[in-house]
Amino acid sequence: MTSVPFDSTVALLREGYPFVSARCDALGTDLFTSRIALQRVTFMRGAPAAELFYSSGHFTRRGAVPPTVQHLLQDKGSVQGLDGAAHRHRKHAFLAVMGPDAMPGLGDLFEQEWRAALQRHDDDRFVLNDLAEEILTRTACRWSGIPTDRVDVERLTRELSLMVGWSGSQGPGNWYAQWRRRGTERWAAELVEQVRRGELAPEPGTALRVLAEHADENGEELPSELAAVELINVLRPMLAIARFITFAAVALHENPKWRERFAAGDVEDLEPFVQEVRRYYPFFPVVPGRTVDSFTWDGHRFDRNEWVILDLYGTCHDRRLWDDPEAFEPERFRGWSWDDDPYSMIAQGAGDHAGTHRCPGEWSTVELLRRAVVLLSTSGLTVPAQDLTVPLNRFPTMPRSGVVLARG
């Protein structure tokens, strides 16, 4: 087994997203061991590694996610920390809310909120990421069955944005985001309690209704605090799609032939374009897990409770899986299907949505990106001179400017 220097913390923070793949390429392997913050860790990349990580039953999320990340992105007791029957049962509730059949309605709400936002904000220039976060928060609340008079949109947008933006950092910014999240959880728990007391009656099938009524695999009602955590796990990932929307705007700006096609109504390659945005641009870099047993794979002996990190970004840029992966080429996704290839395109996880920890929000990401790409292409908005570089040593990252758009 090839190894790298004793501790790689500094190198990981300095290099960012390309760190794992750069080491794999240099060592001629898809698997290497090192230490992060003095803790031993095995890094993996590639489609076979993704299949092992998501579908073999050898891994759990419990104890794998650093507390500074867990408390902002999932918190204790949430669906991502469950395994086996408990995970499948809770995941079913999310899939009932966020499955493909619900996507057209979600997309329609997003378009309504997009057009309303552009009317409310009449500045000549605005930062797309900021506006998209507000639009997505409004969309997520309406779609989840949360009445508009029960939410301070500006405050909630800020709190959800802090959860996403500071999840990969440590120190005061992360602590402040965690403190703000406690307030979000109290607000969400009160909504759940209001539903249970009969004071709110969200539509059947909405996230607030489903989670307020959800019982665990033993038939026990979820504590309101835990139902609140899961409600936030619907709202927060939807706001995070703003980063993909900003990247889509950059892609349209730098590849104007696609903007021109979509503006002319030619949307045959809209889905391939959206999938290429998700593959090409950096979202979350890695996903951690811990082994639940001892086993050998690809010549490496995994011990029980071994910390393992799967390289999402590197797998999406693996030259063995993608021709010329550093080129933005939507054509590569013509005829592509998740069902046929569940372990290569892993920007938001791998494997089967129902049985693994693959993100149930992928369908909403694709739907909202499809709508946003058409809206951006037909809006007449322009991209003035600005710094569109993407720092790859920031987790999660986005263009430095947030993508400024101008009217006319």
**Interatomic CA distance for residues 153 and 287, integer angstroms:** 30
Across residues 140-148, what is the average pLDDT?
97
Higher pLDDT, 111 or 92: 111
Q: What is the pLDDT of residue 356?
A: 53
pLDDT digits (tens, 9 = 90+) for 327-378: 999 999 999 988 888 999 999 988 765 555 456 778 999 999 999 999 999 9
**Interatomic CA distance for residues 21 and 314, integer angstroms:** 5
Q: For residues 323 and 279, is the Cβ–Cβ distance under 8 A?
A: no
Residue 197 has pLDDT above 90, yes or no: yes
Across residues 218-241, what is the average pLDDT?
93
**Interatomic CA distance for residues 127 and 150, integer angstroms:** 27
Looking at every residue in the chain, the average pLDDT score rounds to 92
| CA angle 321–322–328, rounded 5-degree value | 155
Confidence of residue 236 (pLDDT cuts 50, 70, 90): very high
Half-sphere exposure (Cβ direction) of 343: Cα atoms closer than 13 Å: 15
pLDDT digits (tens, 9 = 90+) for 310-321: 999 999 999 999
Residue carrying structure tokens 């992966």: 325
Residue carrying structure tokens 């794992």: 20
Backbone torsions φ then ψ of 33, nearest 5 degrees: -110, 145
- The pTM for the full model equals 0.94
Looking at residue 127, the DSSP 8-state letter turns out to be E
**Interatomic CA distance for residues 295 and 62, integer angstroms:** 18
pLDDT over 90, % of the chain = 79
Q: What is the pLDDT of residue 97?
A: 85
Q: What is the pLDDT of residue 44?
A: 98
Indicate the CATH number for domain 9-406: 1.10.630.10
Beta bridge partners of 309: 43, 288
Q: What is the pLDDT of residue 345?
A: 94
Buried b (16+ CB within 10 A) or exposed e, 343-355: bbbbbbbbbebee
**Interatomic CA distance for residues 249 and 41, integer angstroms:** 36
Across residues 99-126, what is the average pLDDT?
95
Q: What is the pLDDT of residue 1?
A: 47
Across residues 229-242, what is the average pLDDT?
95
Q: For residues 133 and 239, is the Cβ–Cβ distance under 8 A?
A: yes
Listed range (6-20, 160-174, 207-221) with the worst mean pLDDT = 207-221
292 to 52, 303, 349: CA distances (angstroms): 13, 9, 19
Q: What is the pLDDT of residue 352?
A: 64
